[in-house]
Amino acid sequence: MNVSATIDKDLVARVVAQQDSAAFGELVRRHQSQVRNFLRRLARDHELADDLAQDAFMHAWDRIHTYTGRGSFIGWLLKVAYTTFLQSKRRSNRYAEILQQLGQQAADTGGGQAGVSDEIGDLDKFLAVLTEEERAVMILSYACGLSHREISDTADLPVGTVKSIIFRGKEKIRESFEINDHQYG
């Protein structure tokens, strides 16, 4: 076990045993950028991702006693963040369905979206060709550095499926890049 993982486990033990908010604050400080970046790549909306990160840490505080120590703490925390993202997406979809059922149309305010395409980096362009599941698995693997087993635990997928998704995701990105490269070059 590396030093960082040992520190995380010690901090978690303090939070669980003593409801130590300072220890939890240290866990947040240590992992907030990774959680926020993960959610930003998934949501493709920085403000939403920041809100989701805050919600994820609140859920983590409420559920930290469920962390068993099996696997890395960051893997567990990213699973909480991923679940928070999926719940938000479901709520958003339900809200859209209700609006549609009532015959209302969401007005396009134009705010917040102007310039977003200008800010999207190459990585985001590559990730855009992937399905939500592929994007999540690729981010967990390459941006967060999780092992196939940790991704399996985080996303509730068999390890073989994780490997297939990574392979398929890389192929999609490669094909997309080759097509775009030929179009412009």
Query: DSSP letter string over 66-77?
Result: G--SSS-HHHHH
Report the amino acid identity of residue 36: R
For domain 1-103, give the CATH number: 1.10.1740.10
Is 121 buried (19+), middle (13-18) or exposed (0-12) by CB count in 10 A?
Answer: exposed
CATH class, domain 120-185, is: mainly alpha
Boundaries of every domain in the chain: 1-103, 120-185
Strands (E), the chain: none
Question: How far is the C-alpha of 179 from the C-alpha of 123, rounded, in Å?
Answer: 16
pLDDT in tens, 107-117: 343 444 443 34
Q: With the C-alpha atoms ordered 69, 79, 63, 8, is the resulting torsion angle positive or negative?
A: positive
Q: Comparing 1-103 with 120-185, is the CATH topology the same?
A: no
Q: What angle do CA 52, 124, 155 make, to 5 degrees?
A: 50
Give residue 161's pLDDT. 92
pLDDT in tens, 35-75: 999 999 988 889 999 999 999 999 999 999 999 888 889 99
Q: What does pTM read for this prediction? A: 0.60
Q: What angle do CA 24, 40, 76 make, to 5 degrees?
A: 40
